[in-house]
Amino acid sequence: MFQSWQNLLFLHWAVPAGDLESRLPRGLRLDTFEDQAWLGIVPFFMRDVRPRRFPAVPGISNFLELNVRTYIYDESGIPGVWFFSLDANRRLACALGRTMFHLPYHRARMSSTTGDWIGYTALRHGEAEPADYRYRGIGSDHAADPGSLEFFLLERYVLYAHDPAENRLWRGRVHHEPYRFYDAEVERFSTAPLDWDHLPPVSGLPDHACIVPRVDVGIFGLDKVDTMPGREPSI
């Protein structure tokens, strides 16, 4: 598939690894930076979502998405992203994400505004507390230096998913140019998506925040991941 990810706000908190380890399925381990696990909230705009060599479809190819994520590696040492949840305001996007990619998509009411500041709100169906964001990029854009925290958080080209029906772990690959990101000025933010996912709370301002205006992405199919016998997932 082809997708364009736009106006991405990356908010990250350093958290104890023990707060997240039990939420991972068998075969995955938390990846840490300077002995800290990282929990991220990422609201952004999905644009021009379509199969390769096919045109975008009005009303289907553009929607909003908000992810809650952490960073992991599998038993072969391949680093990637683990999604605790993905909220979107398109029923079809949620259905396809769950059936084709085994990802925990949820329907949400979402809205956005653009301009000098980006406004973004989301409320998952069945929840009472909305998430509200207002942000913009400042300064000049730059790429992440290898070995930096930004490189650890942003330069990930593998996602992992779990199919509970078959207790099967899957690996998917994405391709895009390295992120060009800006420092973020964040006027409003919310940690409500962590509550929606029943994750441990975080306090205070994010430990890291940045904005990526746009990246065009190729999405590849999933591959099964072989895992060693061990504990069952707690998700």
Say what the alpha-carbon torsion angle 48, 53, 54, 55 is, to the nearest 10 degrees.
50
Own/partner long-range contacts of 221-224 (Cβ < 8 Å, ≥24 apart): 221/172, 222/101, 222/102, 222/161, 222/170, 222/171, 222/172, 223/170, 223/171, 223/172, 224/168, 224/169, 224/170, 224/171
The domain spans of the chain are: 2-225
Question: For the segment 197-214, what is each residue's pLDDT rounded down to a tens digit?
Answer: 999 999 999 999 999 999
> CB within 8 A of 229, min separation 6: which ones?
none
For residue 215, give the amino acid letter: V
Confidence band of 233 (pLDDT split at 50, 70, 90):
very low
pLDDT at position 235, please? 39
> Which candidate, 68, 49, 79, places its Cα nearest to that of 10?
68
C-alpha count within 13 angstroms, C-beta hemisphere, residue 15: 25
Average pLDDT over residues 114-136: 97
Question: For the segment 52-109, what is each residue's pLDDT rounded down to a tens digit?
Answer: 776 666 667 899 999 999 999 999 999 999 999 999 999 989 998 999 899 999 999 9
- Judged by DSSP in three states, 193 sits in helix
C-alpha count within 13 angstroms, C-beta hemisphere, residue 128: 0
Average pLDDT over residues 163-170: 91
- Judged by DSSP in three states, 154 sits in helix
Report which DSSP code applies to 22.
T
Q: Looking at the predicted structure, is the pLDDT value of residue 228 above 60?
A: no
CA distances from 150 to 6, 42, 176, 180 (A): 18, 14, 16, 11
Return the CATH architecture of domain 2-225.
Beta Barrel (2.40)
Q: Are 98 and 51 in contact (CB under 8 A)?
A: no
Separation of alpha carbons 155 and 103, rounded Å: 20
Q: Are 171 and 226 in contact (CB under 8 A)?
A: no
Helices and strands (DSSP H and E) totals, the chain: 4, 12
pTM for the full predicted model: 0.93
